Structure 1
Amino acid sequence: MFKKLLLLLFLAHFSFAQGGDAKISGVLLDSTTKSPVEFATLALYKVPNLQQPIDGSMTDEKGKFELKGLAYGDYVIKFTFLGYEEKRSEVISVNQKNINLGQIFIQPSATQLKEVEITGQAAVIEERVDRLVYNADKDITSKGGDATEILRKVPLLSVDLDGNVQLRGSSSIRVLINNKPSTIMATSVADALKQIPADQVKTVEVITSPSAKYDAEGATGIINIITKKNNLQGYSLNVDLGGGNRGGNLGLNGSLKMGKLGFTLGGFGRGNWNPSSTEFYQEGLTPDTSYITRQYGDGKDKMWMGRYSLGVDYDISASKSISGGARMGLFSFNRTQDLFIDELMKVGGTNIPLRNSHLDVTNKMPNTSWDFNLDYLHIIKPQKEFSISTLYSTANSNSSFSRVPFGNGTRFDNDNENKNQEFTLQTDYTSPISKNQLIEVGAKGIFRMVDSKFENRMGNAFVQPGNLDYNQNIGAAYLGYTYSTKDKYVFKVGGRYEYTDISASTLVIDQIRKLNIPAYGNFIPSVNISKTFAKLYTVKLAYNQRIQRPGMQHLNPNENQSNPLRISRGNPELDPELSNNFEAALSAGIKKLYFNFSVFTRFTDNAISSMTTQFEERGEGVTLTTFENVGKSRTSGINLFGNYQITSKWTLNGGIEAFHMVYEGKAPNIDGISLDFSSKGWNLNGRLMSQMTLAKGWQIQGFGYLRGNSPVAQGTQSGWAHYALGFRKEFKNKKGSIGLNAQNFLTEKMKFTSKLHTFQNIQENVDYRYNRGFNVTLNYKIGKMGAEAFKPKKRAKGVQNDDLKDAGDQSQQQ
């Protein structure tokens, strides 16, 4: 069925694209020098409608042009090129197959353009029918950092101290880069975001109510990070350099545009280093006697990352383009830690020491990823498009740890090799069926292969080697419909069907076990309705259903035993989450003030959450943390954010968020009997940012974020604060800038506490984060850009996979 739908879409493209077999040709010349005008833009209009072009093209190196596939009738051509007056042809009557216009002369403008300076800027926050857009390219305080720093400032999002992202209190999201997924995102969103330099982020789109065109995965929504691109004629090279007390970075991004052919080349490297410190306390809840564990650890973290890309695009014509690219990502994290463990027995209120140990623990996580894409786009006419997109993505995300006791004891090692491959084929067709109606139809196939091999060594002996082989194939088709009325109503409805087939097996101690995971199909509806009143107020109502399939960190059965008393692993037999989302929003723009107020509620079945239980088969006091479909969760909340233009050079924006979360499921008690549990609580967040433009190219920006305590399935996590102050001075030639940034500069370290209270034990874990940072940044632009500088061309679309749940760092505990 999936293959048949793809074939129908291909045939539909060729049928809709053909309008006739006539052709208009000619050559465009400079009226003064009589030399050819290269790469000028042509727009073709069908008489009598001279407002909307129906086709277009560009002149070649000799000034020649052709417009093919035309039906008989009357047309007008408009010629434009930088430095020339606009030229509009007389009415051209096409009554035969070949119409040759001969030489067309275009006159140079009286004032040649030497330099254009754009003084306007986009609003910090923009709102569209199904998403919120945060314009990040004016961010000063994130210079020299990564995308994590940008996302902390985006309304509706929260990012914890490890870089794990939540949307409206949930990590069930999908993160895309330029509308494309990557296998590294399937491994860890937090690690992937560290590979994206903040200097290269243009906008962040938060899609809370995705239409049927988007994958059904991402239970709460989709985050799409748009990086900066250059579509101008000519060449450019951007250099970004930064250094500070906690790390340094170097980035080079170049582009070359020659007529119809364009190249981009980018590279970014960054290194970070930080001390770390942890404290842990655990007490069992056995009635008469209880086992107590106390742990203390000091360590050093070193992290290095890089991302390199090559892109090529070619304009077949003004309406057709093809683009391709390759991207490589590198990531390496090393942690060395001195871990002290005290074990005690509490009897009748008295703590009796049992043993203590001192361990040298080393964790290493190297990661290499590759993405290759090839995309084709045909803009048949305004809003009528056909596209084909392909993507192959692969990632080797390995991890290892060693645990060496001081004094007598046996060394323990673990090596885990993970390979994640993904191939995607997607086709989309969009067409207006009237002036106020639009349909979207498409199909998609995703083919994933996950292989995880792991082995443990006790001294020189191998213990419990194994692997996970997990193959997932998804076929999808969708239909969307948009209807707009004269009185400012917009209705956007659609349906998407996804069929998922999974084949998986595990190998432990030479025994293969095939996992019985049945195939399943889901029909996913979506509804978005908006109404604008008096061009000032907009009201939106939305409903959608979403799926969240477990990601690699949820599935991987390899055990992390770097801490012998706190073991963690994944669960390859998890079921996907299914959520129903409801939202209502009011937004308004009144003079210098813009604000948005929204309320939402989300119901989730088969909610995936980390669960901690006693692991008695490994010894007294040992716990196991893994992922389970705990039952149901419900989140309801409000968001209020706004932007105020105090003066033409001073802006203030911020917002507050409040969520109430409820988790309901089953967990074992001290006797191993499964009992119902319920965890609930509020989470409050707030952010504020102010930016001021001063004289002589100076800018100053301040940012603050406060996150309150938040509930989890078995306890709570403490709140924390993050703040930053940045200064930037632009060079007189407008080609570069130098900046100074400071983050969390008032205190040396930050305390972060998580508490768990289960039927079997209580835990308290304290992490001390040394987040005080100072860094200097330098940016400089080299190059010369020319024609069509302010008319970026729409490129071939890319693949969007937004279906895997990210585990953050919940599976890695120490």
Structure 2
Amino acid sequence: MKTLTLAFLATWLGFALNFAQAQSPEGKIFGQVLDDHKQPAIAATVVLVTAKDSATVKTGQADAQGRFVFSNIGNGAYRLQVRNVGFKTYRSDVVYISTEKSLVNLTPITLQPGGTTLKEVAVTAQKSYIEQKVDRMVVNVGSSITNTGANALEALEKAPGVIVDVNGGISFKGKSSVMILIDDKPTYLSGDDLINYLKSIPASHLDQIELMTNPPAKYDASGNAGIINIKTKHSKIKGFNGSAAANAGLAKYWRTSESFNMNYRVDKINFFLLEGYSIQNSYRRLDVGRTYFDAGNNVRSSYTEVAFFNPSFYNSNLKTGVDYYISPKTTLGVVLSGVISTGDNHNPVNSFLKNAAGKIDSTVVAENNTNYKNYNGGINFNYSHKYDSLGTNITADFDYVRYSNHRDQSFYNTTYNASGALGSNQNIIDNLPVYVNIWSGKTDYSLPFNKKTRLDLGLKTSYVNTDNAANYFNIVNNVTTVDNNNTNRFIYKENVNAAYANFSQEWKRFSLQAGLRAENTRVNAHQLGNALGQDSSFVKNYTDLFPTAFVLYKLDSAGSNSVSVSYGRRIDRPAYQDLNPFIIILDKYSAFTGNPFLRPQFTNNYQLSYSYKSMLVLSAGYSYVTDYRVEYDYQKGDIFFANSINLGSRAEKNVAAITNLDPFKWWHFYLDAEYNWTRYKGQLGTIPVDNTTAYCFINNTNQFTLSHGWSAELTMFYVSPFTDSQFTHIARKQLNMGLQKKILNNNGAIKLSARDLFKGNYSAGNIRNVPGAAITYHNDNANRSVTLGFSYNFGKSANIPKKRNTGSADSEKNRAGN
């Protein structure tokens, strides 16, 4: 397969070179816009018009350095018009494009004070909810009314190709183990900790969600499904501006969220602040049925469990930072971020044990309670410098992140016999502290040889130290003793060093990008012993290469029709807690245990796509995973255990169609339809597995612009039944509606949203391949909700290109947890 891929790319490249030589010169006009203080006029509107009749040819915006460029300009005479709030409109002399002079580099344009003030401008345009770009798809979160009152996890479930199951597990394009970034920085969390963190972030804090199935080499190779980058709001406009929002909603229980976002830029200083507070009161009912058989396949007993989960969290978020512009080319910055999340979960469980005849032998009534105290914080120092007008630049980041998560639990189980008489009591308490410290640094260097040829180079190092403890105690007759069967402490240290090179080249119709990333991983893990068990440890050291390639060909000179092919290799390292061999008690008959023998899984991704403007994208993909990792459930004595194992291989084929249309001026229509076919092959415990599954996924968004400041939205998604290793899943669907009214001169908005109107988003199915047992499950998360919200924008506002939001840690966040 690798040989075929290289041969295919070489053929396309050779054709591109020959084709490019036959093309006529490309007309291009570029320049820079400055304000009256000779500073870049960020986001100034630049319009290219014909000199004869001032007909608009193209419209653009100046970037963070005030630069603009117009490409694919035909021969002729043109003028430029430049507009910016608070300045007079600039009109240029005639600019000529000809075969002899196809490139025009204008002298810097300096704007003069005066002209239209912001109060005279009525901004009515709204970003499209979905934007298709060359290497990623962008979801503009604020454009969706039904995101009112939602959190980051709920906003994710509406993104194209993303499936969030009822337990919060995230998959992308049919694959799990997706890498989640916040402002280009990893979250360093996994499992329940990642879910709770995303739930703690109000959707009103979010600007965009970027979806990348095949990220370039500059990104960490972690995440076999690609990368989801959640970008928070961060303005660069001069002066003071920001927004505030408040929401109240009701599902099974009430929940509220408030957020505040502000930015102040003056002279060489830019200060920003993003803070939020939310109260999340959730609900889940879990029904589990287990039937046990003897060697003759006759029923010998059964077990039924009804569990309720009522977690309540109080979340405080803060992100603040300062950018200092040493010069127009050099910037220093510091960013502080933190989350405080406290709460509790009341978890009553009723379990019924029955004999072969289906009569109750005993009943267990459990009162389980958990208290959470999570304190997570980080600091980022960043530096960037631009050397020339071509874009030669260097950036550097250093990050330190610390997670301090504490969980205290109590399990009180009371057993009754068949007649209802008291049998026995069991009282267990535990505390499960987790400490994660991450140090990370990286530097990236971009070297453009000309406007169309560029080389990117980079280095990164990260060091992660996790300290997990599980302290269990038995209480008998008010006497507390240590439970050494379950108590332990696990220390995990990991160092990843990486280097990459990425080359890109553009011709008139061809674009080529090829990269190679090398990552060396060093692991040192130590499980401390106790009175019943000795110390144990393991050490790992491995180096891997991760090539990426992307080729695009424009089928017409305007670039309206294009075909692209891409390839990438990725790694997915086990989450830290999945390597920890200790046992986490879920209830009297259920527990989770780690697996120190887990290996990383590797994925090769191939994709072929056709695009017509931003209106239609058709794609076909293939991926192959080795050492595919799955959850494995098994019975041991009276306890039902869950852990992770390397099953074997996973092969997937998928096709997708995306439409992004405006049938009428008042109606925007978006549809993402996908079909996936997957084959799993390997060993599930002692059982060989070779099975296939297929499913479809549909995501639809309709936005309606009504009169007098009113707008509405209707969204839905549908996932057909499918199988994933041991688990079968029923179909899931969700319908959402929203209504919005602009007020206060379009600066404020009142929004009403309703989610999961027909209560179709719940999960149920079977757990297969458990010897001697048949198991069913049913999860109800009470997703149906209604939310009323208010938002207000203040100060100056504009569509401004954002400063680099990168950090040096790009993969570790998704793997920390307990």
TM-score (norm 2): 0.82
Q: How does 1:640-651 map to 2 (within 5 A)?
A: 640-651=657-668
Q: How many Å separate the matches in 2 of 1:111 and 1:256?
A: 22
**Distance (whole Å) between structure 1 residues aligned to residue 113 and residue 696 of structure 2:** 60
User: Which of 244, 247, 259 is 2:267 aligned to?
Assistant: 259
Aligned in 2, Cα 1:733/1:641: closer, same or farther, shift over 3 Å? same
Q: Is 1:755 equivalent to 2:780 in the alignment?
A: no
What does residue range 179-190 of structure 1 map to in structure 2 within 5 Å?
179-184=184-189, 188-190=193-195
Partners of 1:721 and 1:442 in 2: CA distance: 43
Deviation at 1:689, TM superposition (A): 1.2
- 1:525 equivalent to 2:547? Answer yes
Q: Report the alpha carbon displacement of residue 333 of structure 1 after superposing the two structures with TM.
A: 4.7
Please tell me whether residue 801 in structure 1 is matched to residue 806 in structure 2: no
- What is the CA RMSD across the aligned residues, in angstroms? 3.0
Give the Cα–Cα distance (whole angstroms) in 1 for the partners of residues 270 and 808 of structure 2.
20
What does residue 83 of structure 1 align with?
87
Residue 401 (1) aligns with residue 412 (2): no
CA distance in 1, matches of 2:187, 2:348: 35
Structure 2 residue aligned with 1:117: 122
Inter-partner Cα distance in structure 2 for 1:708 and 1:112: 53
Match for 1:577 among 601, 626, 646? 601
Within 5 A, what are the aligned runs for 1:193-212? 193-212=198-217
Aligned with 2:334 (options 318, 324, 337) = 324
1:386, distance to aligned residue in structure 2 (A): 0.6
Partner of 1:687: 699
Residue of structure 1 in register with 2:790 after alignment: 778
Aligned to 2:742: 730
Where does residue 566 of structure 1 map in the other structure?
590
Give the one of 446, 454, 459 matched to 1:438: 454
Give the secondary-structure state (helix, strand or coil) at the position aligned to 2:282: strand
Q: For 1:526-546, what per-residue CA distance to the aligned partner results, in whole angstroms no more than 9, with x for missing partners? A: 111111112221211111110
Which residue among 285, 290, 294 is the counterpart of 1:286?
Answer: 294
- Distance in 1 (alpha carbons) for counterparts of 2:472 and 2:401: 29
- CA change 1:274–1:598 in 2 (3 A) is same
- The correspondence for 1:492, drawn from 513, 522, 525, is 513
What is the 5 A alignment of 1:237-252?
237-245=242-250, 246-252=254-260
Instruction: Decide whether aligned partners of structure 1 residues 523 and 157 sit closer, same or farther in structure 2, where only a CA change above 3 A counts.
Output: same
Look up the SS of the partner of 1:659 in the other structure.
strand
Distance change (3 Å), C-alpha of 1:205 and 1:80: closer
Q: Retained in 2: the 8 A contact 1:638–1:657? A: yes
How far residue 111 of structure 1 moved from its aligned partner, in angstroms, is 5.1
- Residue correspondence of structure 1 range 712-727 to structure 2 within 5 A: 712-727=724-739
Alignment of 1:325-724 (within 5 A): 325-346=335-356, 350-351=357-358, 353-380=360-387, 381-406=389-414, 408-459=424-475, 460-464=480-484, 465-486=487-508, 488-510=509-531, 511-534=533-556, 535-589=559-613, 594-616=615-637, 621-668=638-685, 674-724=686-736
Q: 1:586–1:466: structure 2 CA closer, same or farther, 3 Å change rule?
A: same
Residue 603 of structure 1 aligns to which amino acid in structure 2? Answer: Y
- 1:240 CA drift (Å): 0.7
Q: Which moved more, 1:569-578 or 1:435-444?
A: 569-578
Write the distance in 2 (CA, Å) between the matches of 1:734 and 1:52: 23
Is 1:309 the counterpart of 2:319 in the alignment?
yes
Cα distance in 1, alignment partners of residues 64 and 275 from structure 2: 37
Distance 1:715 1:57, change over 3 A: closer
Contact in 1 for aligned 2:399/2:809 (Cα 8 Å): no
How many matched pairs? 715
Distance 1:543 1:151 in 2: 25
How much does 1:642 deviate? 1.0
Answer whether contact 2:188 2:816 (CA < 8 A) is retained.
Answer: no
Q: Is the 8 A contact 2:489 2:527 kept in 1?
A: yes
Within 1, Cα distance between the matches of 2:173 and 2:804? 32
Looking at structure 2, the residues matched to 442 and 706 of structure 1 have their Cα atoms a distance apart, in angstroms, of 41
Residue 353 of structure 1 deviates from its aligned partner by 4.1
Assess, with a 3 A threshold, how the Cα gap between structure 1 residues 791 and 230 changes in structure 2: closer, same or farther: closer
| Superposed CA offset, 1:760-807 (max 9, x none) | 12211112221221111011233x338xx5554634643351367669
Report deviation, 1:372: 0.7
Question: Which has the higher mean CA deviation after the structures are superposed, 561-570 or 693-702?
Answer: 561-570
2:183 counterpart (173, 178, 184) = 178
Letter in 2 for 1:697: G
Relative distance call for 1:457 and 1:126 in structure 2 (3 A) is same
Which residue matches 2:52?
none
Report the Cα offset of residue 213 of structure 1: 0.8
Shift of 1:130: 2.3
1:435 partner SS? coil
State how far apart, in whole Å, the 1-side matches of 2:198 and 2:64 are: 39
Instruction: Please say which of residues 251-260 and 674-683 is displaced more in the overlay.
Output: 674-683
**Structure 2: which amino acid aligns with 1:605?**
T
User: Contact 1:218–1:804 (CA<8 Å) still a contact in 2?
Assistant: no
Match of 1:743 among 755, 759, 766: 755
Unmatched segments (≥5 aa) in structure 2 = 1-33, 43-59, 68-81, 94-108, 415-421
Distance in 2, matches of 1:235 and 1:522, equals 48
Q: 1:578 to 1:111 in 2, by over 3 A?
A: closer
Report if the CA contact (8 A) 2:183-2:806 is conserved: no
Secondary structure of 1:434 counterpart: coil
Q: Residues 796, 726 of structure 1: CA spacing in aligned structure 2 closer, same or farther, 3 A cutoff?
A: closer
User: CA separation in 2, counterparts of 1:544 and 1:726?
Assistant: 39
Offset of residue 701 of structure 1: 0.5
C-alpha change, 1:417 and 1:791, in structure 2 (3 Å) is closer
Q: 1:548, 1:804 within 8 Å by CA — same for their partners in 2? A: no
CA contact (8 A) 1:466 1:506 kept: yes
Distance 1:315 1:699, change over 3 A: same
Q: After superposition, give the CA deviation of every residue in 1:305-358 in whole Å (9 maximum; x if it has no partner).
A: 221111111111111111111111123453213211122343xxx346432211
- With 694-703 and 732-741 compared, the bigger mean Cα shift is at 732-741
CA distance in 2, matches of 1:508, 1:662: 41
Q: Kindly state the Cα deviation for residue 525 of structure 1 after the two structures are TM-superposed.
A: 0.6
TM-score (norm 1): 0.83
SS in 1 for 2:491: strand
Aligned to 1:24: none
Q: Secondary structure at the match of 2:153?
A: helix
3-state SS in 1 of match to 2:87: coil
Instruction: Kindly state the Cα deviation for residue 86 of structure 1 after the two structures are TM-superposed.
Output: 5.0
Identical aligned residues as a percent? 21
Could you say what secondary structure the match of 1:148 adopts?
helix
For structure 1, which segment, 401-410 or 236-245, has the greater mean C-alpha deviation from structure 2 after superposition?
401-410
3-state SS of paired residue (1:396): strand
